[in-house]
Amino acid sequence: MKTITNFKNLLNTILAFVFTMSISAVSFAQENSSGVVETTNSTKTTTTTEWYADPVYLIGGALILVILIVLLTRTGRKKED
């Protein structure tokens, strides 16, 4: 029984090795090795700014947050008579 278990473990190891090598061979086989190299150079610059990276929105959001915190803390106070 132990021999069958050892054989299964060996077979699993060999299959894993073969699978790994075949995947590696497939990934390297996708290179362009025909000798013809085509290069195209194009310069195209696009500058985009996300809204959350704009300092105006960050400062405005911080001000609104401070105002909300101040208003919420002030409404909790009772007037002393």
Q: Tokens in use for 34?
A: 């025909």
What confidence score (pLDDT) does residue 34 get? 62
Question: Which amino acid makes up residue 76?
Answer: G
Residue 13 pLDDT grade (very low, low, confident, very high; cuts 50, 70, 90): very high
pTM of the complete model: 0.35
Task: Answer whether residue 35 is part of any domain.
Answer: no
Task: Answer whether residue 30 is part of any domain.
Answer: no
Q: Tokens in use for 11?
A: 């077979």
Task: Answer whether residue 17 is part of any domain.
Answer: no
- CA dihedral for 41, 45, 50, 55, sign (positive or negative): positive
Q: Tokens in use for 28?
A: 């390297």
Q: Is residue 39 over pLDDT 70? A: yes
What confidence score (pLDDT) does residue 63 get? 95
Question: CA 67, CA 61: separation in Å to the nearest integer?
Answer: 10
Question: CA 80, CA 53: separation in Å to the nearest integer?
Answer: 45
Task: Answer whether residue 70 is part of any domain.
Answer: yes
